[in-house]
């Protein structure tokens, strides 16, 4: 009886699932937009109005709001989870986007508000005195670590480095001494550079172009990259400027003033604790995160490892933003279940996929590189059927063993690039396993 070959139809239509061709293009996969609705209403309105007026993605404007909380509070606010677990109100953020994607426009309004707050913090009689001005400075665009440390010494609460440049900048990791200082700065720890500094709270907001991301990633190990929260919105639809409402800048400045007055100093900070219900919710989130970390590798695994700290810091930022507009004379209440769960959603549903997109492009693991390389070979090969050995020998040039090649094949099958050929009847001799190549790849090769 002749052998019949059938295709395993486990997916709709012709049996092929939709393929994400970004694997072939060195471009990031589709990512979600910033969930503005998770922020307090007053700030959500400010973000929406500012984004519309500036013709900038709301993602970038929202990042400026979170960065403003870090700039104003810094080491002056400590988030207390347990008797031994504290997190400073420090954030490291990287805004990724092509030239003219709206990164600068998305930051301008908040930068101006923070400059206004800086002016208010300097007594009128001392505004022309450089020493007095440095004592009240919130933002710094100088990337030199020595200059940053010097400025922090006159601003014990900390400093926020805002780098909105055409060239990409991330903290240096290739020099061991500077690397260690930067890592300690993320936690507002004491450093010796060369003399001892009691606390070094440094927040970062840096813009990054995708084309320079690979270059920027060179020398940046997982320890540096894992501490950043990434935002990489896609191309935005055109929005007419007519009808855009003016953002409530005065109210936003009022909120920043309240946060500035609340924050203490690293040696005498304001402590914002996580309440019992918040700790219970955080436990549930961390239990969910633990197995995910065990099945992830490379820089993404390190990023997930910083998840607990990032979730707590984001929860603190959300709670402080809410309090800043409340108008109450009472101090912020302990973080509860709602703040922790909202923070986890923001971190898991927004920041995680954006981080994955960045890591896939700039810091892929060896396995990801193999999968991309094999996917491109499939597109260009002209073949319709392949075996594991084809992938091992032709696509990967015998740089892997049979088991590693099979892992790549199975991943490509999972992604919809391949589909295993099934034999309707059991043959006398075990045939070599074959996989059919998705016809969509042929179309992609034709352009």
Provide the β-strand partners of residue 96.
208
pLDDT of res. 429: 64
pLDDT of res. 169: 64
pLDDT of res. 129: 53
Cβ count within 10 A of residue 283: 11
pLDDT of res. 253: 96
pLDDT of res. 298: 81
Taken in order 395, 398, 404, 406, the sign of the CA dihedral is positive
Structure confidence by residue, pLDDT tens digits, 261-278 = 999 987 899 999 999 999
| Long-range contacts of residues 171-178, Cβ cutoff 8 Å, at least 24 apart | 171/204, 171/220, 171/224, 172/145, 172/219, 173/219, 173/220, 173/221, 173/223, 173/224, 174/219, 178/145
Question: Between the CA of residue 433 and those of 123, 385, 419, 421, what are the distances in Å?
Answer: 77, 10, 11, 7
Give Cα 151 distance to the centre of its chain: 27
The domain ranges of the chain are 5-21+366-446, 31-362
Structure confidence by residue, pLDDT tens digits, 154-177 = 787 889 999 987 555 667 655 677
| Residue whose C-alpha is closest to residue 39's, from 13, 9, 62, 14 | 62
| Residue whose C-alpha is closest to residue 268's, from 410, 355, 157 | 157
Which residue ranges in the chain fall short of pLDDT 70?
A: 1-14, 25-28, 122-136, 166-170, 172-175, 194, 211-221, 363, 423-431, 444-447
The tally of CA atoms less than 13 A away on the side-chain side of residue 32 is 12
Structural class in CATH, domain 31-362: alpha beta
pLDDT of res. 353: 95
When computed from its CA atoms, the radius of gyration of the chain, rounded to whole angstroms, is 25
Cis preceding linkage at 194, omega within 30: yes
Secondary structure (DSSP) of 353-404:
HHHHHHHHHHS--HHHHHHHHHHHHHHHH--SEE-HHHIIIIISTT-S-HHH
- 5-21+366-446 with 31-362: one CATH topology? no
Q: What is the pTM of this model?
A: 0.79
Answer yes or no: CATH 1.10.10.10 is held by domain 5-21+366-446: yes
């Amino acid at each position: 009886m002749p052998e019949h070959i059938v295709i395993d139809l486990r997916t709709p239509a012709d049996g092929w699932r939709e393929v994400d061709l970004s694997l072939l293009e060195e471009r990031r996969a589709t990512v979600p937009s910033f969930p503005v609705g998770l922020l307090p209403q007053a700030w959500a309105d400010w973000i929406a109005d500012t984004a519309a007026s500036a013709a900038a993605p709301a993602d970038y404007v929202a990042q400026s709001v979170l960065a403003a909380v870090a700039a104003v509070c810094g080491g002056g606010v400590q988030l207390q989870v347990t008797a031994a677990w504290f997190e400073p109100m420090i954030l490291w953020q990287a805004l990724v986007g092509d030239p003219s994607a709206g990164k600068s426009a998305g930051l301008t309004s908040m930068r101006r508000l923070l400059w206004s707050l800086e002016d208010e913090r300097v007594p009128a009689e001392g505004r022309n005195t450089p020493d007095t001005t440095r004592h009240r400075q919130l933002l710094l665009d100088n990337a030199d670590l020595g200059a940053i440390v010097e400025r922090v010494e006159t601003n014990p609460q900390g400093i926020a480095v805002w780098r909105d440049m055409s060239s990409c900048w991330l903290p240096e990791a290739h020099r061991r001494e500077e690397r260690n200082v930067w890592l300690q700065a993320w936690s507002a720890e004491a450093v010796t550079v060369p003399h001892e500094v009691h606390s070094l709270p440094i927040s970062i907001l840096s813009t990054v172009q995708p084309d320079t991301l690979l270059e920027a990633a060179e020398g940046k190990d997982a320890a540096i990259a894992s501490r950043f929260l990434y935002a990489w919105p896609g191309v935005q639809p055109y929005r007419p400027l007519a009808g855009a409402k003016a953002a409530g800048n005065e109210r936003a400045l009022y909120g920043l003033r309240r946060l500035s007055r609340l924050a203490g100093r690293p040696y005498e900070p304001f402590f914002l604790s996580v309440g019992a219900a918040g700790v219970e919710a955080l436990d549930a989130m961390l239990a969910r995160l633990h197995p995910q970390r065990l099945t992830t590798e490379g820089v993404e695994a390190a990023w997930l490892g910083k998840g607990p700290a990032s979730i707590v810091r984001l929860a603190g930022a959300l709670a402080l933003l809410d309090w800043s507009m409340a108008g109450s004379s009472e101090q912020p209440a302990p973080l509860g279940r709602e703040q922790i769960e909202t923070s986890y959603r923001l971190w898991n549903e927004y920041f995680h996929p954006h981080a994955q997109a960045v890591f896939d492009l700039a810091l892929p693991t060896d396995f990801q590189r193999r999968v991309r390389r094999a996917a491109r070979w499939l597109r260009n090969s002209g073949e319709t059927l392949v075996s594991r050995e084809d992938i091992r020998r032709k696509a990967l040039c015998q740089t892997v063993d049979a088991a590693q090649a099979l892992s790549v094949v199975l991943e490509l099958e999972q992604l919809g690039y391949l589909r295993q050929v099934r034999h309707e009847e059991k043959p006398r001799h075990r045939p070599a396993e074959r996989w059919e190549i998705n016809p969509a790849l042929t179309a992609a090769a034709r352009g």
